[in-house]
Amino acid sequence: MTFKESNQAKSGKMLRDGYVSFGHPSVMLKLGSGESVEIDKGVIDLIKLMNSIPGIETKGSCQGQDPNYGYVQFMPDDTEGKAHASIYFMYHILKNMHAAWVKHRHVMWEYEQSTGSEHPDAYKFKFTTELGNGYVLKWSPYTYPAVLAAARKAAEETRQNT
């Protein structure tokens, strides 16, 4: 469901397009720009983290629900001299998600070696990226804890590099 005009009228504030909730519990988040956006409760930590990095502004998100991916779209903001922060963040989150994927594959292999059968979560680890109108990170709900952990580390590394 996209933002309803009745919700906008109730809050007295306009909500930014791009943030979508498909019936998930949501919370209002006031961005540094002063805009208020409705965020799925399941991704609020990620959205707050990403918007706290000078040079990055999230544009849309959804927490996802099996079998649908969760996602966050982000772009450079207008912080002077920080437009490259989104590129650094994308690099660092990919690097950190690769490490999480390697760990997942190792755990799945160990399970198969010890039981002789495939783990039921063997193919649930999904994480993708897109380029287009900014950057988009997508993940399976199973993967969200790894995405959040990778994003925390990526935010720290991005702040060091920018």
* pLDDT top residue among 9 and 24: 24
Q: State mean pLDDT over 102-115.
A: 96
Q: Is the dihedral of CA 23, 38, 25, 96 positive or negative?
A: positive
- Helix 44-51 and helix 144-161: axis angle, to 10°? 10
What's the start-to-end Cα distance of the chain, in Å?
A: 36
Comparing 127 with 14, the larger pLDDT belongs to 127
- pLDDT, tens digit, 9 for 90 and up, residues 25-45: 889 988 877 888 889 999 999
Mean pLDDT calculated for residue range 98-121: 96
User: With pLDDT > 90 as the criterion, what percentage of the chain qualifies?
Assistant: 64
Answer whether 11's CB lies under 8 Å from 36's CB. yes
pLDDT at 37: 86
pTM of the shown model: 0.82
